[in-house]
Chain A
């Protein structure tokens, strides 16, 4: 059995007293206590777990349930696919969450949520109760939308690499094994999907690899959208300046099916046979969020209260990150999940202390894309709660994109990665 033992938490609590003195950043003055269970240790969940411990000075007990042994970052994973960084570079341990922040990290999977009993069940057996539950499950794929891809054998051949880890390495291997003169085809689903600029960044970095090592090869982008979904001018210019004759962009080319035996993508009017076919399927909120009775929008994304990130129909259950129905022009990004994690951490601590959440939360997005290994460009936005529409609205006049790709922002992109990984996990 894996029932939470109160005794263990009391021990953690004692350790936390000295921890608060060490980190000296608690403050607030609210006296939150209780047990928060966090499901998913990515950009949203890991950030929230750390900030709950830090801001409560150890007063709130936190259990993080994560199926993977270490965090592997999607941002920067296109550098691995292009051959410019290794998987180790984008992998970060949960050790500091465990030892420094006294988060109880359990490698397991949550298979069911009983919101009435405030309890979750684990795949390896046992259950656990919570005062507040936070789901940060990311996305899962709607393979049924691409019938030929709806089985394990097809999925092991035609990769998405849209969750970093083994698929990242496997896609890199396919590219290394590809002959010069081959075709890499990447398909992009209709928005919204995880990280809008990332497919276009991937096209750039694979093209950069081809340009240097396999110059007769091509990158063909099959985009279901009417146009490039993010940083359009910057990507279009990079393809023209840097990858002329290598990158070919086809808009309104939704991949409806595949033939796995021949690596063929099937669009409405056409077929494309590729040497390496990378299909990014349509996405929805991660399984645990869609099967727990939470109110969904478009049957895909969780509807949340933006003051707390709490489900609009299931009390005490909060949802973060890519799984959430986005506020206007709010991207599904790692940076945004980090910000939502802090918004939710602050709100949960207030709620656990019997106080209302902040009425004026703000979140910020900053997202860098590499156009080649040495140059990058950003998109940024600031979003603040609007009482009239009861959602986060972009602040007018704020935000924007780079004037042009540049080398300084490639350094900032790497600096962002080091700092956000530390903000979550160090």
Chain B
């Protein structure tokens, strides 16, 4: 279980991310592209290949799943190790990108 960040560090993170976000309009798209090797281009997984499509997934649902992967609540073979590699702000951008895909 990861320790919860303090309010101060969360605020600092959000402030920093806000600046980065403003300067980097494609960040969500670029981060989401890391998932495509298993979950398909723009989250559209190859049908019948046994991998979950992320395109069009409700953002809150995606964030909930990712949070459970990170905390270890949701059992996983690999996603618990990958989800640890991204910050809350990054996961938020990625989930928003996938939610917007048809």
Which stretch of B4-12, B28-36, B57-65 is in the interface? B28-36
B38–A419 touching, CB < 8 Å:
yes
B85–A339 touching, CB < 8 Å:
no
A28–B46 touching, CB < 8 Å:
no
Assuming the contacts A338-B37, A364-B85, asked whether A416 and B51 have C-beta atoms less than 8 A apart, the reply is yes
CB distance from A324 to the nearest CB of B (A): 18
Assuming the contacts A342-B33, A408-B77, A418-B46, asked whether A360 and B20 have C-beta atoms less than 8 A apart, the reply is yes
B41–A412 touching, CB < 8 Å:
no
Q: Which residues of B contact A416 (CB under 8 A)?
A: 37-38, 51
Q: Which residues of A contact B102 (CB under 8 A)?
A: 24
**B interface bracket (residues with beta carbon within 8 Å of A):** 35 or more
* Interface-central residue, B33, B40, B42, B81, by most chain A CB under 10 Å: B33
A415–B27 touching, CB < 8 Å:
no
CB distance from A117 to the nearest CB of B (A): 31
A380–B33 touching, CB < 8 Å:
no
**A interface bracket (residues with beta carbon within 8 Å of B):** 35 or more
Within residues 322 to 372 of chain A, which ones have a CB less than 8 A from any CB in chain B?
335, 338-339, 342-343, 346, 350, 358-364, 366
A360–B24 touching, CB < 8 Å:
yes
Q: In the complex the two chains form, what is the Cα distance from A364 to B85 in whole Å?
A: 9
Q: Which residues of A contact B90 (CB under 8 A)?
A: 362
B residues whose Cβ falls under 8 Å from a Cβ of A: 2, 20, 23-27, 29-31, 33-42, 45-46, 49-51, 77-78, 81-86, 90, 101-102
16 pairs across A/B with beta carbons < 8 Å? A25-B42, A338-B37, A339-B34, A343-B30, A358-B27, A362-B34, A362-B86, A378-B77, A395-B84, A395-B86, A398-B84, A402-B77, A416-B37, A419-B37, A423-B36, A426-B41
